[in-house]
Amino acid sequence: MRPVPRRLGLTLVLTLVAGLLAVVTTGSPALATHSNQIDDGTFGTGVGSWWSSSAAPIRTENNELCADVTGGTAVIHDVIVGRSGVQLTAGRSYTLTFDAKSTAAVQLRTRVQDGAAPYTGVLDQGFNVSPGLRRYAMPFTSTLTRTDGQVTFQVGGYQAAMTVCFDNVTLVETNEVSNGTFDAGIQHWWKGRAQTTIAAESGQLRIDTPGGTANPWDDIVGLSGVTLRAGKQYRLTLTGSATAARTVRTVVQTEASPWTSPLQQDFGLTTSAQTLSWTFTSPLTITAGQLLFQIGGTAGFTARFDNISLVEQPALANDPVLYWNDVLKQAIRESVEPQRSPTNLARAAAVMNTAIFDAVTSVTNIGTPYVGRITVPVDTHVASLESAVNMAAFDTLRVLFPNLTFTDELTAARGVLPNGTNSVQRDRGEGVGAAAASAVVANRSNDGSTSTATYTPSTTPGAWRPTDTTPAVTPFWGQVRPWTMTSGSQFRPPLPGGYSSYSTLLASQAYADQLNEVKNLGRATGSTRTAEQTDIAFFWANDVPGTYKPPGQLLEHTEIVAVQRGLGVLEHARLFALVSLAMADAAIAAWDAKFLTPIDLWRPQSAVQNADLDGRSDTVKDAAWLPLSINPAGQRFSPAFPAYISGHATFGGAWAAVMRNYFGLDHLEMRLTTEDPSRPTVVRTLPSFTAAAAENGRSRIYLGVHYQWDADNGVATGTQIGNQVFAGYLRP
């Protein structure tokens, strides 16, 4: 259909066929510890044990640790904010995670190090920080064993003063294998067969099996006490060899029947030591799991293993939710009528993202689905989380955009599955995704979205009429069955200015004031707009074919914030589904107000060009007046539906409400993007979700296609929808 979107890399994937899982005996627990070394990293009760250089006094503000750096220092390590008393163990894997922002865009540095001279570091990494709070995750393996280590942030080396703030600082051990080097013996490892022996030899795990068993699982060596988190990606790495070429199996599974296994891979051992690695995503939360080597079903041999680690990864290498939302945005760009109306596109996002969410909840058994949970067999096999997302998206997109094909996109998504995914897991995941897609599509059948009802414009002054040859777009959409609202009119705003007839509306001073404002600010030529206001107008426009349209822009902004905040695949699935539900109902509510109330308000273009019909002396007709809004052919235009309320503003209000609720905050500085052809490279830095929604609404006045009450009441309506969606749907 089109080039693979940017979310997928060119990773080669090894797909291995696995057999049956083992029924194993339990052994002594691995005793892996995963406690957070930083118990005062949220700053709700003050600075705790944190300290700083004299040039950067620290304080807490809004539950963040803020350092007021005076500036004027020569090198970055002249000024430090730190925390002592950190415990480290050589050979163990850790991840340092934190949020950071600064009043200036600068590069800082973090170190995890020995607490005494020469302050040997085990993590030394720079990071760019800006006014927007961003999450960072830095994995490392410690080369030191210390009880007095330090986590430090180096913030010096700049002449200008600045304030740097940190929050949610954690340092967690991420290796599930507490003894994978065998330097001190074989503690925590066990065997399931009496005739097999295990021992530590030259810093390796030596396994001697006499053979003579029928199945791989008849002869097992394992480690218990493994814990996994649903939706997180893990990498199992080991070095292995054997006295003769043998095929063995590695398994990560639950510790009790039915021994469900997120990882099950056959691999070959040779007489030469080789390092092998598998990545897999766990669809399960496992608090008592096992790492196994199944060595039965073959002739006797001696195997040696070393450097065994099972480490949680900071993020999925190829997040399928972000990928398929990129595919959706490309489909929007290539869509044709009637699919490319903003109403249909909001519905498409909701269909795809609720199907993805229902597939994810089915595989993980976490969260409240929108339509329902698909039954996943409970046995030794898991369903691949990525595969479930892939097929849920693929099957819905084929229905939503019948003029497009998505086979290449599915092939690309399959090609970057974690290499620890076997064919059984993939097929089972795709089955779940297909069933979730079918359920959502069936749920939305006969919802009124395929109506062919038309609209007959009125010639009454004040009433909407086309500004060109384009007829009213989806005039029936206010009667489409809502996704979360009780009806399309549940959050119907008051009529513009509170006036219930065109005559009283046109006679009001409020009408004259709003019309004259947009006439001056929104005209194509000779306006009173500033350069920034013109940028704002086009930044939020995305009205023309070939762009990702308003719903796509807000999906893009959702992704920007989600990546900035370091969300994982489960969080992405829920957030994108919530945003999409809110936008889908925002479209219904906005079109209810546009077409199903006593006032179907004309666009400013009609109002200015026909001002001689409004009965006022303070609104002057200008038959040549055109809005700033322009298409790639150079034609000025107004969208083909009534002005009140603004669809852009309603979408924006719904989006902002979901984002505020989801993240539990409003003030989060964001660098947001656009692809409107009139300003494709403009980036807007906004301080909050509320500010973004307000600017989105205000942009329509600068563009010359709306009045301010369209924006204000659009945002208000969207806000109510977004709050209701978050409170009542897709609960975690």
- In CATH, what number is assigned to the domain containing residue 541? 1.10.606.10
pTM for this entry: 0.90
Please tell me the predicted confidence (pLDDT) of residue 11. Answer: 30
- Separation between Cα atoms, residue 231 and residue 282, nearest integer Å: 6
Q: Using an 8 Å Cβ cutoff, are 222 and 198 in contact?
A: no
Please tell me the predicted confidence (pLDDT) of residue 22. Answer: 31
Do residues 131 and 261 share a domain? no
Please tell me the predicted confidence (pLDDT) of residue 173. Answer: 87
Sheet containing 204-211: order of strands:
197-201, 204-211, 299-312, 233-242, 274-281
Q: Tell me the residue range of the domain where 138 lies.
A: 50-173
- Separation between Cα atoms, residue 579 and residue 556, nearest integer Å: 11
Do residues 148 and 241 share a domain? no
In a domain, 11, yes or no: no
Lowest mean pLDDT among 23-27, 436-440, 655-659: 23-27
In a domain, 477, yes or no: no
pLDDT over 70 at 149, yes or no: yes
Q: Using an 8 Å Cβ cutoff, are 498 and 679 in contact?
A: no
Please tell me the predicted confidence (pLDDT) of residue 1. Answer: 59
Residue 81 identity: V
Do residues 556 and 686 share a domain? yes
Please tell me the predicted confidence (pLDDT) of residue 25. Answer: 35
pLDDT over 80 at 106, yes or no: yes
Taking Cα atoms as reference points, which of 333, 391, 338, 403 lies closest to residue 551?
333
Average pLDDT score over residue span 587-611? 98
Q: Using an 8 Å Cβ cutoff, are 249 and 264 in contact?
A: yes
Average pLDDT, the chain: 93
Please tell me the predicted confidence (pLDDT) of residue 29. Answer: 44
In a domain, 700, yes or no: yes
- Separation between Cα atoms, residue 309 and residue 55, nearest integer Å: 41
Token pair in block for residue 23: 């029924």
Taking Cα atoms as reference points, which of 453, 503, 437, 450 lies closest to residue 481?
450
Q: Which residues of 130-187 form beta strands (DSSP E)?
A: 134-141, 146-154, 162-173
Do residues 699 and 574 share a domain? yes
Q: How many domains does the chain have?
A: 4
- Separation between Cα atoms, residue 701 and residue 49, nearest integer Å: 52
- Separation between Cα atoms, residue 542 and residue 673, nearest integer Å: 11
In a domain, 583, yes or no: yes
Please tell me the predicted confidence (pLDDT) of residue 14. Answer: 26
Q: Using an 8 Å Cβ cutoff, are 677 and 630 in contact?
A: no
- In sequence order, the β-bridge partners of residue 106 are 129
In a domain, 69, yes or no: yes
Taking Cα atoms as reference points, which of 430, 32, 24 lies closest to residue 260?
24
Please tell me the predicted confidence (pLDDT) of residue 90. Answer: 87
Please tell me the predicted confidence (pLDDT) of residue 274. Answer: 97
Do residues 581 and 721 share a domain? yes
Token pair in block for residue 402: 């019948």
Residue 15 CB coordination number (10 Å): 13
Please tell me the predicted confidence (pLDDT) of residue 556. Answer: 98
Where residue 31 falls among pLDDT bands split at 50, 70, 90? very low
Please tell me the predicted confidence (pLDDT) of residue 355. Answer: 98
Do residues 680 and 569 share a domain? yes
- Separation between Cα atoms, residue 58 and residue 80, nearest integer Å: 11
pLDDT over 60 at 4, yes or no: no
Among 416, 443, 470, give the residue marking a domain's end: 443
In a domain, 42, yes or no: no
Tens-digit pLDDT profile for residues 175-218: 899 889 998 899 999 999 999 999 999 999 999 999 999 999 99
Where residue 317 falls among pLDDT bands split at 50, 70, 90? confident
Indicate the SS3 state at residue 378: coil
Where residue 34 falls among pLDDT bands split at 50, 70, 90? low
Do residues 371 and 405 share a domain? yes
Q: Which helix (DSSP H) or strand (DSSP E) does residue 425 occupy?
A: helix 423-443
Tens-digit pLDDT profile for residues 462-496: 999 999 999 999 999 999 999 999 999 999 999 99
What's the CATH number where 200 sits?
2.60.120.260
Among 399, 414, 443, give the residue marking a domain's end: 443
Do residues 364 and 386 share a domain? yes
Among 141, 173, 205, give the residue marking a domain's end: 173
Where residue 137 falls among pLDDT bands split at 50, 70, 90? very high
pLDDT over 80 at 33, yes or no: no
pLDDT over 80 at 81, yes or no: yes
Tens-digit pLDDT profile for residues 41-56: 999 999 999 999 999 9
Do residues 307 and 341 share a domain? no
Indicate the SS3 state at residue 629: coil
In a domain, 353, yes or no: yes
Q: Using an 8 Å Cβ cutoff, are 679 and 535 in contact?
A: yes
Do residues 528 and 674 share a domain? yes
- The rounded percent of the chain whose pLDDT value lies above 70 is 95
Do residues 299 and 155 share a domain? no
Do residues 59 and 137 share a domain? yes
Where residue 119 falls among pLDDT bands split at 50, 70, 90? very high
Q: What's the farthest any 2 CA atoms get from each other in the chain?
A: 103
Tens-digit pLDDT profile for residues 377-388: 999 999 999 999
In a domain, 15, yes or no: no
pLDDT over 70 at 12, yes or no: no
Q: Which helix (DSSP H) or strand (DSSP E) does residue 83 occupy?
A: strand 80-88
